[in-house]
Chains A and B, each alone.
Chain A
């Protein structure tokens, strides 16, 4: 690789308290190429990009752009120096028009004061024509589908005359034709001499579009190869590359008879198209799939947090509706949500309140007054049964570690005596040691005869904890595998079935 270099990130390291997020990572992007950046969730891809854009300040390492060392303080400065990013989560002013978003922060002016709508519209049209985007510059963003909004974001990156453009999972919300369109744009940018950094989980895409591939794992650089030399299997091996011993407790649960039968579940407003499955008593059922494949939607539709489009749910041979979370809780369901901080904990309230909040009805004395004694007893039970490490019941929950917070929430749900526990990413943001405890807890729950459905983006975790694994792809159930007799490769292949 002695061709000219456009961007070089050398020996980048970054630590967060207790975690080494990046350990001497390097990345070299040549002009006129597409450089794929791959790795499992948590491998450090986005941290690396955030270091490039100055959103995180790196602990060590140098970044050289076009022969000059650079050190961006924020994404605005990066933009001005020709480094742009198309974010996976779009950060746009949705109530404003396409061109307002495109030129935000640098409106073309007339007479020093007035914004020239005409220039704005004209230049927007020019860029859109170049990119073959068919969108009226005056359309309000919120009225457009996500794919078109993403095109606007791409156009914005292009409009800065960027030398380096980072695409973060750009195809997760695009249809096949739109992906083709995106690839045309990427190829065009490449032909113009831009360096493209392309982050994606989709192997086929990567192999199709990229020139070079860099693979990361656990915050370290693993390999940089030419895409032509790689096969899908090799990539997966490089990405996974670790032994799965002793990370999981022994599986002692024994699935029993079927308690829950779900047929053709679909979402009214979401991407969940069709999912049918059964759950046994004492079973841990995993749900795998890529981001946006409809994993979370299965749980939230089942729980009534999202509006169902159709399908039937049968519990113990009786059909139930689960139209709202309230109704589902009554039916014996419990949902541990994906975003613990946003929708799980009540951060500034104490452990006790966080524990008993879903079960307040059972502490009523005479229908009016809550029994503090009973609440304290139940909280004590939760603290002991879940092994929650907390100084006291009256500690604010936000001061606990992620793992302990998660245990409080699991304890909260157990108090409602659920039969079916829905766990969405139960170990997200939890350190390795605490994960083991959560796994133990899950297996223990199954041993007590509960049915557990668990969504996770970490495949080893599903393989280590679950009995069976459902694989979602593009909003549909792509297949079901036995956790003992499958491999990550098989799951990944299924996950790509309908994308």
Chain B
């Protein structure tokens, strides 16, 4: 401690310290610069409607990223996220179709289920698939990359078969009941005359919940300890098996919720729904400093990561940048962020 305070007091603002400060906050700086630049070239960017749009899109992609982050904290990953989102989106939508046109309803014999039944179903399905992932990771010591690469394919089969069931015959699941779309896309609050869709509030609630789980519960602390040093956690009596399964199950439940939201938000659900969601979610986590080294990550970082990706997408669209270049910019930012992240952990010899 005494050493620490000394080093803090001693050096003035020399070049190295300023350099470090800039590097450690490079992402925020980059983001601010990007926002200023976009705002200058298109003044609409910072108008209320646009800001609400940025927030809304961030909110839509946030829950999946929050879920996947736990897997990354355990030095793993989850490639099945997108397909789970797809499956739960299709299931949610099929259970909440309007009864006005029965011919197009997937399950005409059951009416429109209450929302409060469907949310737990979606989250439960996600959690079950997540536990399946976790079970293989914890029990057979397989790397999550391999496990979820496998489950992702299995879930895709379930998804392809599901959209063939009932009246649907592989069609897009659409024609959703107003209770569903209103619940998700409706607005209970307007700010500056701009409606804020309800799913923004859900995302905020989930973020708070996840922050609580990560920072305030035994489970959260065990998760980080496990990611930082599995052996240390084991000898300290942490139930490694259960913690791993629970991290994946929680992630699955988050994908399930994302699926429920996306079902209504997108409005037209097919076997393609959710494709590549995991890649965006993983990218967001990595940009936000959830490290593949394990045991490191903050909810705040994930929110920033998702926001960053959405800013890139929205900013580039609003600036009318050639779509071909968008991949390049996204890729460059991911590499930049990871290199920055790794820099902190490189042990000097």
Contact = CB atoms under 8 A, between A and B. Distances in A.
Interface stretch (B41-49, B233-241, B313-321, B328-336): B233-241
Interface stretch (B19-27, B82-90, B169-177, B224-232): B224-232
A219 to B, nearest CB: 25
B236 A105 contact: yes
Nearest to A92: B232
Contact of B231 (A91, A100, A114, A269): A91
Given A115-B218, A269-B348, A270-B349, A93 B228 contact: yes
A107 interface: yes
A145 B4 CA distance: 10
Contacts of A134: 1-2
Contacts of A129: none
A269 B348 CA distance: 6
A19 interface: no
B1 A115 contact: no
B216 interface: yes
Contact of A96 (B2, B4, B224): B224
B233 A104 contact: yes
A105 to B, nearest CB: 3
B197 to A, nearest CB: 31
Contacts of A74: 235
B217 interface: yes
Nearest to B220: A115
B221 interface: yes
**Which of B2, B228, B231, B236 neighbours the largest number of chain A CB atoms within 10 Å of its CB?**
B236
Nearest to A144: B4
A258 interface: no
Interface in B318-349: 348-349
**Which of B3, B221, B222, B232 neighbours the largest number of chain A CB atoms within 10 Å of its CB?**
B221
Nearest to A306: B349
Nearest to B294: A95
A109 interface: yes
Interface residues of A, number: 36
B295 interface: yes
B348 to A, nearest CB: 4
B296 interface: yes
Contacts of A94: 228-229, 295
B218 A104 contact: no
**Which of A109, A134, A270 neighbours the largest number of chain B CB atoms within 10 Å of its CB?**
A134
16 contacts: A75-B235, A76-B236, A91-B232, A92-B229, A92-B232, A93-B229, A95-B227, A95-B295, A95-B296, A96-B221, A107-B221, A115-B217, A135-B1, A143-B4, A268-B348, A270-B349
Describe B's contact surface by its main secondary structure.
helix
Interface of B: 1-4, 216-218, 220-222, 224-225, 227-229, 231-233, 235-238, 293-296, 348-349
Contact of A109 (B4, B218, B222, B229): B218
A239 interface: no
**Which of A76, A93, A145 neighbours the largest number of chain B CB atoms within 10 Å of its CB?**
A93
Contacts of A107: 218, 221
Given A91-B229, A135-B1, A307-B349, A106 B221 contact: no
Contact of B349 (A79, A96, A104, A269): A269
**Which of A100, A104, A148, A305 neighbours the largest number of chain B CB atoms within 10 Å of its CB?**
A104
A145 B225 contact: no
B238 A117 contact: no
Contacts of B295: 93-96
A145 B218 contact: no
A96 B218 CA distance: 14
B5 to A, nearest CB: 10
B227 to A, nearest CB: 8
Contacts of A305: 349
A484 B253 CA distance: 72
Contacts of A91: 229, 231-232, 235
A104 B221 contact: yes
Interface string A406-450: 000000000000000000000000000000000000000000000
B216 A136 contact: no
Given A95-B224, A96-B295, A114 B216 contact: yes
Contacts of B294: 95
A114 B220 CA distance: 10
A100 B229 contact: no
Contacts of B2: 134
A381 B323 CA distance: 61
Q: Which 5 A-B residue pairs are closest in the complex by CB-CB distance?
A: A105-B236, A93-B228, A105-B237, A95-B295, A104-B236
Interface string A299-328: 010000111000000000000000000000
A96 B228 contact: yes
Nearest to B296: A95
A115 B219 CA distance: 9
Given A113-B217, A269-B348, A93 B237 contact: no
Given A96-B221, A104-B222, A268-B348, 14 more contacts: A75-B235, A91-B235, A93-B225, A95-B227, A96-B224, A104-B233, A105-B237, A107-B221, A109-B218, A115-B217, A115-B218, A115-B220, A270-B349, A307-B349
Nearest to A75: B235
Interface string A104-125: 1111010001110100000000
Contacts of B237: 76, 79, 105-106
A100 B226 CA distance: 12
**Which of A106, A115, A143 neighbours the largest number of chain B CB atoms within 10 Å of its CB?**
A115
A344 to B, nearest CB: 17
Nearest to B229: A93
Nearest to A100: B221
Interface string A362-392: 0000000000000000000000000000000
B196 to A, nearest CB: 30
A338 to B, nearest CB: 14
A100 B224 contact: yes
B61 to A, nearest CB: 26
A104 B227 CA distance: 13
A79 B238 CA distance: 14
Nearest to A74: B235
**Which of A94, A136, A139, A300 neighbours the largest number of chain B CB atoms within 10 Å of its CB?**
A94
